[in-house]
Amino acid sequence: IYVVTSQNELYSFYPPTLSFKFIGNLACPASPGETPFSMAVDRKGFAYVLFTDGNLFRVSTKTAACLPTSYQPNQLGWSTFGMGFSSDDDGNDQLFVTHDNSNLSGFSDGLGTINTQTFRLSSVATFSPPIVQRAELTGTGDGRLFAYWPDEASGQDGAFIAQINRKDGQVIGASRIDVGSPHSAFAFAFWGGDFWIFSGDQTQSSITKYD
């Protein structure tokens, strides 16, 4: 699993030993003051890192080397979003995104995809039921897509995990878990049959394994 900090540091995390390894500092040509907002890693080991100004960069998980992409920010009016790769029906990586609309209604506008060849953002569907908030996504080896989001709408501690139908945005089996707070920074990954949740604030972080 790979994680990135708001201080532009890229780490790997190995679940069997619960150990982190520092890979390097990102030297992305981002605007001053902008920091990583979300990250997704494909099967070839390349990370796509979204910054707070909506720019998307391609990062090596071996060296932390960073290059800009041709992605144009604010496509479909989406400035920031959570991301995750999931395999399509042919076994190819597909980058799914979910719009971060927490400053307006509190709930996401829906599910989309970014073509990593053309870097065009396309809308897939709105979520049904429309319960997904500011979320991160992850995919499983058998092509399923899952979302994790803190319960910001209620203002209470806790979060949700749910499977998402990649084709129509249907939210399947949302489960509430006692992880995080409405103000948590967070990341979400699937490894070895389990979900791994990274949550925290400016003073401390925690890691949760969810079976």
Cα separation of 139 and 196, whole Å? 12
**pLDDT per position as a tens digit, 27-72:** 999 999 999 999 999 999 999 999 999 999 999 999 999 999 999 9
Q: Which residues of 15-39 are buried (b: 16+ CB within 10 A; e: fewer)?
A: eeeeeeeebbebebebeeeeebbbb
Nearest alpha carbon to residue 187 among 23, 39, 36: 39
Burial of 165 (0-12, 13-18, 19+ CB in 10 A): middle
Nearest alpha carbon to residue 52 among 2, 10, 12, 4: 4
Nearest alpha carbon to residue 138 among 210, 59, 201: 210
Calculate the alpha carbon distances from 70 to 31, 52, 115, 116, 199 in Å. 16, 16, 11, 9, 30
**pLDDT per position as a tens digit, 100-125:** 865 555 788 899 999 999 999 999 99
Residue at 33: amino acid letter: G
Structure tokens at 160: 């949700």
Q: Which is it for strands 111-114 and 121-125: parallel, antiparallel or unpaired?
A: antiparallel
| pLDDT for residue 89 is more than 80 | no
Could you tell me if 67 and 58 are in contact, meaning their C-beta atoms sit under 8 angstroms apart?
Answer: yes
Write down the pTM of the prediction: 0.94
Nearest alpha carbon to residue 134 among 145, 148, 122: 148
Mean pLDDT of 89-110: 80
